[in-house]
A and B are shown apart, each in its own frame.
Chain A
Amino acid sequence: AQKITQTQPGMFVQEKEAVTLDCTYDTSDPSYGLFWYKQPSSGEMIFLIYQGSYDQQNATEGRYSLNFQKARKSANLVISASQLGDSAMYFCAMREIYFGNEKLTFGTGTRLTIIP
Chain B
Amino acid sequence: DAGVTQSPTHLIKTRGQQVTLRCSPKSGHDTVSWYQQALGQGPQFIFQYYEEEERQRGNFPDRFSGHQFPNYSSELNVNALLLGDSALYLCASSNNRASGNTIYFGEGSWLTVV
Contact = CB atoms under 8 A, between A and B. Distances in A.
Nearest to A37: B105
B17 interface: no
A35 B103 contact: yes
B23 to A, nearest CB: 13
Contacts of B106: 44
Given A47-B102, A50-B102, A102-B31, A42 B41 contact: no
Given A43-B88, A45-B43, A108-B42, A100 B105 contact: no
B57 to A, nearest CB: 9
Contact of B33 (A44, A102, A107): A102
B58 to A, nearest CB: 7
Nearest to A54: B100
Interface residues of B, number: 27
Contact of B48 (A35, A37, A91, A103): A103
A42 B42 contact: no
B107 A42 contact: yes
Contacts of A108: 41-42
Interface of A: 4, 33, 35, 37, 42-47, 50, 52, 91, 93, 95, 97, 99-109
Closest 5 CB pairs of A and B: A106-B42, A45-B105, A44-B107, A43-B108, A103-B45
28 contacts: A35-B103, A37-B105, A43-B107, A43-B108, A43-B110, A44-B105, A44-B107, A44-B108, A45-B90, A47-B104, A47-B105, A52-B100, A91-B42, A93-B42, A97-B100, A99-B96, A102-B33, A102-B48, A102-B55, A102-B92, A103-B45, A103-B48, A104-B43, A104-B45, A106-B43, A106-B44, A107-B42, A108-B42
